[in-house]
Structure 1
Amino acid sequence: MSDIKIRPVGYALGAELSGIDLSRPLSTADFETIKRALQQHLMLCFPGQQLSRDNIVDFASRFGPVDDNSTVKHRDPENPRVTMLSSKPFAGKPWDTFKNGDHWHSDRSFRPDPTAYTLLYAVEMPDVGGNTMFANQYMSYETISPKLQAFLEQLETVHLQTRKASAMMAKQFPAVVHPLIRVHPDTGRKALYLGEHARGFVGMTEEESQPLLDYLTAHATRPEFVYRHAWHVNDFVMWDNRCLMHIAVRDYDMSPGGPARHLLKCSVQGESIGRWYETVTGHKYDLEIAERSGVSQDQAAAVVGASSS
């Protein structure tokens, strides 16, 4: 019998699990308990864990194939399947306040096989702030009127790398198309699937798409759908990107030499649900639209000039 104790931490989502040491081998019974808790609560926190990089990867691999991070710059030198989310200097260069994830998003939705589960381990955290917020996308879909639901289920969304992306990533991942309403493969529940990578809808202009994207994003992140996680050192958190969006909040001292916010990240690859935009439409994503969305000329050219194969 499992000794795991589960304590909900938010109405919309989130639970804290205690009574388990994830640095030790995980029994089948404990894994099934964790998996059921994740399906119910969507985001789990295991506080007070003492984990190595290998511990993190081993645990993540129980949920599916772990991403090799071949296109990610901030790979951990001890294990390339772990990346760093950090305000500390990297590769001998001081932090320049660059920070990923500061808009609502679902991880790597710019890929045909976007991340299923994300796992973060807090190594260093400021005394105040550095929070992460999560929004339940089952709730956001289920609270939309049936008439609008029927319309949204016909739409496909264009997802594209952000303007912060490296040229290498932009070339490897040109525009991809995902269903706006996503059916979770395990629960069968429907969820909104959008975020900062969403640029528009197939068959609609940017001008037509933007007001609807703005409305849906505002609706999807209503306070009653959101849980805000205040990190502590040695928190180990995982969540399901297929039914959650999240955002890293800039609510801490970000000045050079300020307190460090340093987390280790591991990503579990998801099922392939997307198609390349060029395959769907027969042409590359419009350079002019990419430019108007805030991407520089060089980045936009890199995105639309990449092969869709």
Structure 2
Amino acid sequence: MKVQYQDNQRMGVVVYDFNYKTASDGDIEDLKQLIYEYKIVVIKEQDLSPDEYCDFGYRLGEVEKYYQPMYHHPEREEIFVSSNVSENGQQVGVPKTGKFWHADYAFMPRPFAFSMVYPQILPSKERGTYFINMSKVYQSLPDDLKAIANQSSCYHSVRRFFKIRPGDVYRPISEILDEIERVTPPAKHPTAFIHPVTGETILYITEGFTYRIDDLEGKPQDINVLQRFLTHSGQLDKSFKYPLIEHHEFELGDVRIWDNRSLVHCAHYAANSEPAITFRLTLHDSYPFYQL
């Protein structure tokens, strides 16, 4: 395994000459430590079948399939498929997923440690992901917001970006909303928590899922407080020029793994409708998601 380090101003490392089949347990542990330390690891020149991709994921952690079957790969349900390509007249996966700031599964009681993405078909340009390191956001907060973050909890819900399924077409929206609240009730997490491996403090707020902040007594904070957190993090900057936002491009053969505790991300799609297919695995590690 050869590691190419980025400059100090940019997250991530690039790994060459890595084969999960021949990697030792120590190599796998080294790879995980790179993810924790550098937040994003890009493993180059991979050529993996769906089964091999899943086997690689299981070497890194506990793979959990997405809770909605319409996202599942037809051969391996662990694989979440983002695709605008039909196969034999049938839609496989869901098009244009994640086009908003979020951390994967923040709306669930047990979010994931790692997100692992493997593009299959890429458009000719404008295909990648925007990232924000929320530990850096926390460090840069003004004192009043940092105090609120340290003494509050947030509620997160999928309701704003829930994808309507083909079978929902003739259902009343009130019925769909009731189902969302029943199947995925809002999840409560600390507004700021300590990363169990790095010891960094993470601001755990996303534009896509976070809708309420409560103080320690359970009293909701003014909605303007949430807007201040989001503005300070850069998640409300529609130009994506905010200093803490990084854009990372994809290339075929890349397997990109990132620290889902520390980062929020937003998919970047081309303005045209060129074919695009990406596979994703989501993994738990051996640590609790956060320390208080």
TM range (shorter): 0.7 to 0.9
Q: Deviations over 1:226-273 (max 9, x none)?
A: 22111111211011110000000233413xxxx211011111136466
Contact 1:12 1:225 in 2 (8 A): no
Q: Which residue of 2 aligns with 1:220?
A: 233
- Whether the 8 Å contact between 2:14 and 2:41 is mirrored in structure 1 is yes
Superposed counterparts of 1:268-279, under 5 Å: 268-269=283-284, 271=288
**Equivalence for 2:116:** 119
Equivalence for 1:246: 265
Asked whether the equivalents of residues 96 and 269 of structure 2 are also in contact (C-alpha less than 8 Å), the reply is no
What's the CA shift for 1:145? 2.9
Instruction: Kindly state the Cα deviation for residue 59 of structure 1 after the two structures are TM-superposed.
Output: 2.2
2:27 equivalent to 1:18: no
| TM norm structure 2 | 0.82
Q: TM-score, normalised by structure 1?
A: 0.77
Contact 2:40–2:257 (8 Å) recurs in 1:
yes
The partner residue of 2:252 within 219, 230, 233 is 233
The yes-or-no answer on 1:161 pairing with 2:158 is yes
CA contact (8 A) 1:42 1:244 kept: yes
Specify the SS of the correspondent of 2:266: strand
What CA distance in whole angstroms lies between the structure 2 residues aligned with 1:115 and 1:122? 20
Q: Counterparts of 2:181 and 2:8 in 1: how far apart (Å)? A: 36
Q: Kindly state the Cα deviation for residue 146 of structure 1 after the two structures are TM-superposed.
A: 3.7
Q: Hey, what does 1:59 align to over in structure 2?
A: 56
CA contact (8 A) 1:157 1:180 kept: yes
Q: Match of 2:284, as an amino acid? A: Q
1:205: how far off?
A: 4.7
| Equivalent in the alignment of 1:295 | none
Is 1:172 the counterpart of 2:170? The answer is: no
Instruction: Report if aligned partners of 1:9, 1:16 keep a CA contact under 8 Å in 2.
Output: no
> Does structure 2 conserve the Cα–Cα contact (< 8 Å) formed by 1:112 and 1:273?
no
Pairing partner for 2:275 from 260, 266, 276:
260
Mapped to 2, the partners of 1:273 and 1:187 lie a distance apart of 11
Task: Name which of structure 1's ranges 229-238 and 13-22 shifts more when overlaid on structure 2.
Answer: 13-22
Q: Percent identity?
A: 22
| Alignment check: 8 A CA contact 1:7 1:16 kept | yes
Aligned partner of 2:198 in structure 1 is 187
The reply on whether 1:198 has 2:196 as its aligned counterpart is no
| Aligned residues of 1:43 and 1:239 also touching (Cα < 8 A) | yes
Alpha-carbon distance in structure 1 between the residues aligned to 2:26 and 2:74 = 33
In the TM superposition, what is the alpha-carbon distance from 1:161 to its structure 2 partner? 1.2
Equivalent position SS for 2:51? helix
Q: Give the unaligned 5+ runs of structure 2.
A: 165-175, 235-240
- One-letter code of the match for 1:190? T
- 2:85 is the counterpart of 1:88: yes
